[in-house]
Amino acid sequence: MLIRHGDDPPDDRVHAFLLARGLRPELRKPFAGDSLELPDERLAGAVIYGGRFPAFETDLYPFLRAEDRFIGRCIDLGIPLLGICQGAQQIAFHLGATVGPPESGASEFGYYEIAPTAQAGDFLAAPLTVCQSHFHTFSVPDGATRLASSAAFENQAFRYGQKTFGLQFHPEVTVEGFRRWQAAPGARYGMPGAQTREEQDVLMHRHDAAQAAWFHGFLTGFFAEEPETPA
């Protein structure tokens, strides 16, 4: 199950990975009115993508409540669950963590190095430069393990249990996808910490292949069990 918060075409690396395995990704857009049924054990896994909706604004965006219930059911049933950017913030919020803009006012828009923590294990073996686009962050939930950090944001990835992951960064985004973000009216140029377009272009072409290789390896482990229903 792929839960999206925008209308970008489904050309990201998660979607491509599932198609390459012969699976039919099931897309849901609750923000646009799609229903979101609670999953059962037959679900192979779920990915909650990034977006513009603050995880804590459940009164303003009631569909977030349905997503929160979905998150809880996935965790309770041990269904592999991956949250990316907003999705990671939603998982953290569900688990009782603090979510919102940092006191520093910092943001990340471009390509930034993350480093593994001492507890990262085989999640991340060495520093990696990854795609970022955010100005909110999360604290690591109680009982979760911090897996990666960056210079400006201490919490870049966490694992809760063995099958729930939250990533602040965007390894799913291809060069083509990031080009759309660069051209979007709301592109975050000028915010504290944001890179210039020229800096982004250099770093994107220098590091995208390594980011893609790392994420493919992560997804291979994440979707390791053979599914009974489409992802």
Residue spans of alpha helices (H) in the chain: 13-20, 63-77, 86-94, 175-183, 197-222
Give 46-78 pLDDT, tens digit per residue: 999 999 999 999 999 999 999 999 999 999 999
- For residues 163-172, b (16+ Cβ closer than 10 Å) or e, as one string? bbbbbbbbbb
Question: Which one of the listed residues 5, 15, 94, 170 is annotated catalytic?
Answer: 170
- Residue 229: inside a domain: no
- Residue 65: inside a domain: yes
CA distance 92 to 55: 9
Residue 167: name the closest of 54, 105, 87, 70 by CA: 87
CA distance 173 to 110: 11
Mean residue pLDDT across the chain? 95
Q: What Å distances lie between residue 97 and 60, 100, 120, CA to CA?
A: 20, 10, 20
Residue 4 has pLDDT above 50, yes or no: yes
- Residue 228: inside a domain: no
Residue 231 has pLDDT above 80, yes or no: no
> Does 205 participate in catalysis according to the annotation?
no
Count of structural domains within the chain: 1
Residue 27 has pLDDT above 80, yes or no: yes
> Does 103 participate in catalysis according to the annotation?
no
- Residue 213: inside a domain: yes
Which residues contact residue 110 at a Cβ distance below 8 angstroms, ignoring those fewer than 6 apart?
131, 132, 194, 195, 199, 200, 203
Residue 11 has pLDDT above 50, yes or no: yes
Q: Name the strands in the sheet holding 157-160, side by side, starting at the edge strand that comes first in the sequence.
A: 27-28, 2-3, 46-48, 81-84, 164-167, 157-160, 144-150, 108-116, 128-134
Q: Identify the band that residue 227 occupies on the pLDDT scale cut at 50, 70 and 90.
A: very low
Question: Which one of the listed residues 5, 67, 74, 172 is annotated catalytic?
Answer: 172
pTM: 0.95
What would the mean pLDDT of 119-143 be, rounded to a whole number? 97
* pLDDT reported for residue 140: 98
Residue 226 has pLDDT above 80, yes or no: no
Question: Which one of the listed residues 15, 67, 85, 94 is annotated catalytic?
Answer: 85
The CATH number that applies at residue 129 is 3.40.50.880
- Residue 231: inside a domain: no
> Does 225 participate in catalysis according to the annotation?
no
Q: Identify the band that residue 33 occupies on the pLDDT scale cut at 50, 70 and 90.
A: very high
CB 50 within 8 A of CB 85: yes
CA distance 148 to 159: 10
Range of the domain at 107: 2-222
* pLDDT reported for residue 207: 98
* pLDDT reported for residue 24: 84
Long-range CB pairs of 25-30 (<8 Å, 24+ gap) are: 25/230, 25/231, 26/1, 26/2, 26/230, 26/231, 27/2, 28/1, 28/2, 28/3, 28/4, 29/3, 29/4, 29/5, 30/3, 30/63, 30/66, 30/67
